[in-house]
Chain A
Amino acid sequence: MVESHILERLRHMAAVGVRAQTGSAADSWLAHGLARGKLHEVYSSADEAACGAGFAIMQAILAGATPLLWLRIEAVERSGGRLHATGLAELGLPPDALIVALVPDAPALLRAGADAARCPGLGTVLIESSGPMRGLDLTATRRLMLAAETSGVTVVSLRIEAEPVPSAAATRWSVAAAASSPLAADAPGLPAMDIELLRRRGGPAGARWRVEWDRDTTSFRGAALSGAGLPLAADRAAARHPPAPVRRRSG
């Protein structure tokens, strides 16, 4: 009995993968992406939805958590634009590793998300939702988290134009657009964004970063540290940049 229990644990570890936690845990996402086999939440406003989605995609690429299943509600697809695989490929996500499923409504979204989170063949499940979601409560997120921990699939809940509600997610992020460092002739540069860690399970939160995504090296880099690719500590970034204007509505 004991042996079978150990075997079960080993199998689970083999499926989920064992990560060596080096350096500051809050910083590890910069190098390795979001922790696998967990539920993460990403918040962004409606007109910066592309940055939120981009952040989720970049994290999946960093962690090597592909294939990626992107679940969207049809109404969101109509208002927010459809996914453009060529553009996603330019962030570094191979189009072959992308599957999109359109669901009619919020309950179907949660159901499909729960099913997908139980499928160990996937790397990431991206659940995109817009506005308040009544069904996405503590119970539902707890269920997603459990499914993710069992299967080793990273579940990212992308919340557009939504207020944070209590959830069982491992981390909660706020992503906003940031001015990029211009190229020659004042052309927009690499994708840049302001990122705030709103909440983290079992650790302090509130750190902020301003990062640029470099597709060629598959890494984030600080906007101010031009091209050096240096690891970016939370406090240093905060010291160099005044806190980015992450808008949070009161009430």
Chain B
Amino acid sequence: MGNATRLVALDRAGMAAGLRPGLTLADARAQVPGLEVYPHDPHADLDWLEALADGCVRYTPSVAVEPPDALVMDIAGCTHAFDGERFLAADVERRLMRRGVLARHAFGDTPAIAMALARFAGVPAPDEARAVKRLPVAALGLDAEDTAALARAGLKTVGEVMARPLSTIAARFGEQAVTAVRRLSGEVAAPIVARPQRVPIFAERRFAEPIARTDYALEVLNGLATDIAGQLDQRHQGGRRWEARLFRADGQVQRLRLETGAPTRDVALLARLWRERIDALADPLDPGFGYDMVRLDVVLAERLDATQLKLEGGAGNEGGDVPALIDRLSTRLGKARVRRFAPRDSHIPEQAELSLPAAGPQPTATTAWPTPEAGEPPQRPIYLFDPPQPIDAVMAEVPDGPPKRFKWRRTSHEIARAEGPERIAGEWWRRHDAAIPTRDYYRVEDRRGRRFWIFRHGLTEEVDDPRWYVHGLFA
């Protein structure tokens, strides 16, 4: 059908103006010049539909999403709270209306019948079976060719198709047409695929008398953690992110959050981490008139199977392993301060490696570390200045050569040995705006044996008076 931009959905005003989905944008603009159009975003639509499905949990635990535009709810046994299904449906529509969403609903014995009725129902019918029979053949959900063929054969409604022997329909339209007919007649029930419900894991404790000591609140928190560890154990899960909320008697809520690198349900470890978190707070916790409730939530849980204990008895791991240490330090210092290194594909020295938070899952490296050349002294320093530090009073024998002496941090350095230049040009394919001066790097050693990595910023033909910098220090 070409590459024309087409309308996917319309609001009520658009429909009233005579536009229909599938119309090309050019035609639509010709009919309604002031048409407001937005690009079609199926993913966002699906997200929104899923959010609605989450909201529908108030009616029934079993809600299924039928993309692109439908929700199926199994309301068997769930209507008593609303005095019957009519009122439940009215409640759904009222809530949606408040958000400006126009919804159609239908009830059916099976999800397929309800879907067909909701999408295609026109004339009201005394009962469900007759309502289904009055549906147009499009409600069978066959492809466009088969639907057109049915219409051409003179079959306009589902009822007319049902009246035919199924064998002839199977012979003409194949297996799936028969299945579609049987679905709508209620003979075959496709089960509802309910969205998995994530039941939140939490524990809370209320106090008749507010508690005024932070230490006691911590003890309570540990008690709650024990409770939660039991819940997690049953699910074979461990918590990755935790949130503790301390509800103060005057209505304030203090939140403490924790994150661990690996899922855990180790109560002693959590107790240590909470202690760290509280110690790391800029302002200490202020109980005020006391806390009257403490609640602990597992915000994110991941699979964690039971671990084998050590053979001679005792716990499998006394909290002495490195990930636990990284978690502790990350909790205390902040995640960004505990780091590991990862290689990066760049020849600019300061961009050739990344330092990433050591806590949490490690990304798989896409590039490898460069392997040092055998027999060569180190070509890269162990300390790198970022930004490079300017040096003064540089004396070079020849304009393109290494310096004979330079001054850095109030000390004069007489160069005894030098190697270079190692020429490192800017990544011209990344930036097009300005010419980046080339850097000429030299490994130099002064008379005392101190080794530096220095560079001249710019060639003599690029820059009039190129500056020199110390970029790193060698061992």
The interface bits of chain B over 326-342 (1 if a CB of A lies within 8 angstroms of the residue's CB, else 0) are 10110011000111111
The interface bits of chain B over 417-431 (1 if a CB of A lies within 8 angstroms of the residue's CB, else 0) are 111000000000000
Question: Does A88 lie within 8 Å of B382, measured CB to CB?
Answer: yes
Binds B, one of A93-101, A166-174, A195-203: A93-101
Question: Does A99 lie within 8 Å of B374, measured CB to CB?
Answer: no
The interface bits of chain A over 234-250 (1 if a CB of B lies within 8 angstroms of the residue's CB, else 0) are 00000000000100000
Question: Does B383 lie within 8 Å of A83, measured CB to CB?
Answer: yes
- Kindly provide the distance from the CB of A201 to the nearest chain B CB, expressed in whole angstroms: 26
Question: Does A81 lie within 8 Å of B383, measured CB to CB?
Answer: yes
Question: Does B419 lie within 8 Å of A188, measured CB to CB?
Answer: yes
Question: In the complex the two chains form, what is the Cα distance from A3 to B355 in whole Å?
Answer: 48
Question: Does A185 lie within 8 Å of B339, measured CB to CB?
Answer: no
For B388, the closest partner residue in chain A by CB is: A81
Question: Does B381 lie within 8 Å of A54, measured CB to CB?
Answer: no
Say yes or no: is A112 at the interface (Cβ < 8 Å to chain B).
yes
Question: Does B381 lie within 8 Å of A87, measured CB to CB?
Answer: yes
Question: Does A191 lie within 8 Å of B383, measured CB to CB?
Answer: no
Q: Please judge, given known A-B contacts A48-B450, A188-B418, whether A99 and B326 are in contact too, CB under 8 Å.
A: yes
- Kindly provide the distance from the CB of A163 to the nearest chain B CB, expressed in whole angstroms: 20
Binds B, one of A19-27, A30-38, A116-124, A130-138: A116-124
Question: Does B380 lie within 8 Å of A121, measured CB to CB?
Answer: no
For B342, the closest partner residue in chain A by CB is: A95
Q: Please judge, given known A-B contacts A50-B451, A50-B473, A188-B451, whether A86 and B377 are in contact too, CB under 8 Å.
A: no
8 Å CB interface, B347-382 against A: 349, 352-353, 355, 358, 369-370, 372, 374-375, 377-382
Question: Does A115 lie within 8 Å of B328, measured CB to CB?
Answer: yes
Instruction: Name the B residues within 8 Å of A215 (CB-CB).
Output: 372, 378
8 Å CB interface, B383-406 against A: 383-386
For A187, the closest partner residue in chain B by CB is: B419
Question: Does B333 lie within 8 Å of A191, measured CB to CB?
Answer: no
**A interface, over-half SS:** mixed
Question: Does A81 lie within 8 Å of B340, measured CB to CB?
Answer: no
**B interface, over-half SS:** mixed
Say yes or no: is A204 at the interface (Cβ < 8 Å to chain B).
no
Say yes or no: is A151 at the interface (Cβ < 8 Å to chain B).
yes
- Kindly provide the distance from the CB of B163 to the nearest chain A CB, expressed in whole angstroms: 73
Question: In the complex the two chains form, what is the Cα distance from A113 to B383 in whole Å?
Answer: 21
Question: In the complex the two chains form, what is the Cα distance from A104 to B474 in whole Å?
Answer: 26
Question: Does B352 lie within 8 Å of A102, measured CB to CB?
Answer: no
Instruction: Name the B residues within 8 Å of A100 (CB-CB).
Output: 338-341, 355
Say yes or no: is B312 at the interface (Cβ < 8 Å to chain A).
yes
Question: Which one of B332, B375, B417 lies within 8 Å of A188 (CB-CB)?
Answer: B417
Question: Does A187 lie within 8 Å of B355, measured CB to CB?
Answer: no
14 further A-B contacts with Cβ under 8 Å, apart from A51-B475, A188-B444, are A49-B383, A57-B475, A85-B353, A86-B343, A86-B349, A87-B381, A89-B369, A99-B326, A112-B329, A115-B328, A119-B325, A180-B449, A180-B451, A182-B417
24 contacts between A and B (CB under 8 A): A47-B409, A51-B450, A54-B475, A55-B475, A84-B353, A85-B369, A86-B370, A87-B380, A88-B382, A90-B380, A101-B338, A102-B339, A103-B337, A108-B333, A112-B329, A112-B332, A119-B322, A119-B324, A121-B325, A179-B416, A182-B417, A183-B377, A186-B418, A188-B474
Interface residues of A (CB under 8 A from B): 7, 47-51, 53-55, 57-58, 67, 69, 74, 80-91, 94-96, 98-104, 108, 112, 115-116, 118-122, 151, 176-180, 182-183, 185-194, 213, 215-216, 245
